[in-house]
Amino acid sequence: MIYKRFVLAAVTCGNTGHPGVGRFEKRDGYLLLLGVSRQRPGSTIPPDDAARATTDGPAVAMAADYRGCPSCGADNIVRCDCGHLSCWNSAQPSFHCPGCGVAGVVSGVIAGVTPLASG
């Protein structure tokens, strides 16, 4: 089995709803978010079934050179209870999930992401 150092996961912009792909690196026991790219037209995002299958893993943290959401510039991300990852401006106490529509207060840390099958 090949050890995957890099992980790709869907990250949706919470402000604009634009789909994106987050690139994570496993390092020092964390999943560091290196950057988010806009979803390319024609590429696929994981079905909701995949999101529900998310299992806990390393805590997610932002890499030191993470430049923010490509759509709105938010400096962090959150994972909703529904499994959706979305961008989040850490200056805001709450977030809005583009996946299930829930708005809530951010708490805790993200543990694990749902890798894209093509990652």
List contacts with Zn ion (CB under 5 A): 13, 15, 69, 71-72, 74, 80, 82, 84, 87, 97, 99-100, 102
CB closer to Zn ion out of 39 and 71: 71
Q: How far is the CB of 111 from Zn ion (least distance, A)?
A: 16
CB closer to Zn ion out of 26 and 50: 50
The alpha carbon of residue 99 and the mean position of all alpha carbons in its chain are separated, in whole angstroms, by 12
The count of other CB atoms within 10 Å of the CB of residue 86 is 23
Q: In what helix (H) or strand (E) does residue 52 lie, and over which residues does it extend? A: helix 48-52
Q: How far is the CB of 90 from Zn ion (least distance, A)?
A: 12
Positive or negative, the CA dihedral 62, 27, 108, 17 is positive
CB closer to Zn ion out of 32 and 97: 97
CB closer to Zn ion out of 98 and 115: 98
Q: How far apart are CA 79 and CA 85, in angstroms?
A: 4
Show the DSSP H helices in 1-118 as ranges: 48-52
Q: How far is the CB of 43 from Zn ion (least distance, A)?
A: 18
Q: How far is the CB of 26 from Zn ion (least distance, A)?
A: 24
